[in-house]
Chain A
């Protein structure tokens, strides 16, 4: 029982601090690539005040975590467990690394490992769900490495840069998860 449930090898999950995090988040929203990877709505710069309102509602309604590096406690992104179905033990997970310097180096995978462990060992969930666009192969590889299985794809679900792209449904059952990976 000595494991800190919310700490991984590279990052820890912390409570969001709206007073300091909103400004950082607003800077990330200027990166249209980040927005296109994060959601299906049109990318747009968000005014600080409306972003704060949006984040406040998000933090109140979902289990939102700030992702901070262990090395220097830098905020590099957010993740959440949303729409938890307590009866079936299922939750959607979402992750966005806003700071590009931390892409492709295992920070996102580490954060996912921590939240999966939290979901299965602390919340007693049985399953984690996510969706990801086919134009995000880096994320798809990360989810597959964590044990997520592709459960199908909504064809031509999102239109970006002049063509339609599929949206993949992925799921991880607790019995498929390899907890050794979190150590």
Chain B
């Protein structure tokens, strides 16, 4: 009846995390300093082993199962199902219909390629399936490509939290973006484009 595959884009799909194999890959990403740039962290980055990551995924899956207000996905390339990143919707406040997107890619280059389509899939899921009223996303000011993609996806920059990120020897602002269901154009344009 709906004929919309919520999790399938043209270049990437949103799938379940496969703890064993995905942890091996992410542990390898952690040795690339660029990887640190795409993850939203309130604490300094620590390198983790595949075993630690696997445990972290499994714990998160357990709490997602318990809460049912929290969602996590592996972002995979359609061509070969290769893992390129992770997307998480932290616990949604149902009475306010407010949710957020947190995502990280293998590198800024992967984000530049797949970020916008991932955002559009995430928006469609948030507005058409979760029935959210608003979606929040965050970007460090130094990640130009993410800022451009969020704007291209219809987000508005709503706040600039000054000097909250310390990275590469200096302080950076964090930008807070928001989009309302009434502003989302996905329904009109047929969802993920």
Closest to A157 in B: B98
List B contacts of A154 (CB < 8 A). 134, 136, 158-159, 176, 178
- Is B193 an interface residue when CB atoms closer than 8 A count as contact? no
Q: What mask results when residues 15 to 44 of chain B are scored 1 for a CB within 8 Å of chain A, else 0?
A: 000000000000000000000000000111
Provide the bound-state CA to CA distance between A48 and B44, in Å.
Answer: 37
Contact A90 B164 (CB under 8 A): yes
Chain B count of residues within 8 A CB distance of the other chain: 26
- Is B96 an interface residue when CB atoms closer than 8 A count as contact? yes
Closest to B171 in A: A88
- Is A85 an interface residue when CB atoms closer than 8 A count as contact? yes
Count of CB-CB pairs between chains A and B under 8 Å? 80
Chain A count of residues within 8 A CB distance of the other chain: 26
Contact B158 A152 (CB under 8 A): yes
- Is A158 an interface residue when CB atoms closer than 8 A count as contact? yes
Provide the bound-state CA to CA distance between A132 and B27, in Å.
Answer: 38
Contact B164 A157 (CB under 8 A): no
Provide the bound-state CA to CA distance between A143 and B47, in Å.
Answer: 38
- Once A85-B42, A155-B180, A164-B133 are accepted as A-B contacts, the answer to whether A127 and B159 lie under 8 Å apart by CB is no
Contact B160 A152 (CB under 8 A): yes
- Is A173 an interface residue when CB atoms closer than 8 A count as contact? yes
- Is A156 an interface residue when CB atoms closer than 8 A count as contact? yes
Provide the bound-state CA to CA distance between A121 and B166, in Å.
Answer: 20
Contact B95 A151 (CB under 8 A): no
- Once A85-B42, A88-B165, A156-B134 are accepted as A-B contacts, the answer to whether A40 and B96 lie under 8 Å apart by CB is yes
Instruction: Report which residue of B160, B163, B165, B180 has the largest number of chain A beta carbons within 10 angstroms of its beta carbon.
Output: B163
Provide the bound-state CA to CA distance between A129 and B171, in Å.
Answer: 15
- Is B97 an interface residue when CB atoms closer than 8 A count as contact? yes
- Is B93 an interface residue when CB atoms closer than 8 A count as contact? yes
Provide the bound-state CA to CA distance between A127 and B156, in Å.
Answer: 25
Provide the bound-state CA to CA distance between A111 and B162, in Å.
Answer: 24
Instruction: Report which residue of A41, A88, A129, A152 has the largest number of chain B beta carbons within 10 angstroms of its beta carbon.
Output: A88
- Is B113 an interface residue when CB atoms closer than 8 A count as contact? no
List B contacts of A173 (CB < 8 A). 162-163
Contact A158 B98 (CB under 8 A): yes
The B-contacting residues of A in range 132-183, CB under 8 angstroms, are 151-159, 164, 169, 171, 173
Provide the bound-state CA to CA distance between A87 and B43, in Å.
Answer: 7
Provide the bound-state CA to CA distance between A164 and B95, in Å.
Answer: 11
List B contacts of A83 (CB < 8 A). 42
Min CB gap A125→B, angstroms: 11
